[in-house]
């Protein structure tokens, strides 16, 4: 049996898209929403894949790095465009530190608005 669990958090930040021909080239902000998902096939002795509390703590740490910042000024977005896609990849990579032997990060979805999101998933 395969298990998948997720938590959702948010942060607010500003960015501008370099080399973009349109209004998003100008500095603007978003109230971002992030959903992080972990998957695995074996539960621990308490019947959990990974503790939601632990996962939320890891995601909170990442959100605090991004929250109320001008993303273009902080690594890695000082070098790469802070698109929803690149933010999803950044969060996905950061969440690898929360992985256990049984639970691996499998997907991160980032919404920049109520109707627009980007997701990245790992090959597991």
Catalytic residue flag (residue 28): no
In the Cβ-directed half-sphere of 21, how many Cα atoms lie within 13 Å?
A: 0
For residues 60 and 9, the answer to whether their CB atoms sit within 8 Å is yes
The per-residue pLDDT for range 55-90, each reduced to its tens digit, is: 999 999 999 999 999 999 999 999 999 999 999 999
Residue 53 sits in a domain whose CATH number is 3.30.479.10
The catalytic residue among 24, 85, 99, 102 is 24
Q: Would you state the structure tokens that stand for residue 20, as one six-digit string?
A: 């973009």
Q: What is the DSSP letter of 23?
A: G
The catalytic residue among 25, 28, 68, 73 is 68
For residues 5 and 37, the answer to whether their CB atoms sit within 8 Å is yes
| pTM across the whole model | 0.96
Edge-to-edge strand list for the sheet holding 28-40? 3-15, 28-40, 104-111, 117-121
The per-residue pLDDT for range 97-111, each reduced to its tens digit, is: 999 999 999 999 999
* Domain span including residue 100: 3-121
- Number of domains present in the structure of the chain: 1
Phi then psi dihedrals of residue 72, to 5 deg:
-60, -15
Strand pairing report for 3-15 and 117-121: unpaired
- Per-residue confidence (pLDDT) for residue 123, from 0 to 100: 59
């Amino acid at each position: 049996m395969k298990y998948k669990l997720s938590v959702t958090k948010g942060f607010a930040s500003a960015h501008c898209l370099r080399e973009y021909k349109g209004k998003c080239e100008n500095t603007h902000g978003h109230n971002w929403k992030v959903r992080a998902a972990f998957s695995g096939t074996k539960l621990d002795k308490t019947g959990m894949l990974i503790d939601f509390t632990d996962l939320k703590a890891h995601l909170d740490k990442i959100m605090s790095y991004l929250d109320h910042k001008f993303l273009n000024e902080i690594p890695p977005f000082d070098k790469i465009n802070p698109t929803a896609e690149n933010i999803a990849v950044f969060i996905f990579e950061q969440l690898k530190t929360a992985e256990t032997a049984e639970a691996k990060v499998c997907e991160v979805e980032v919404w920049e608005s109520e109707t627009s999101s980007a997701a990245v998933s790992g090959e597991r």
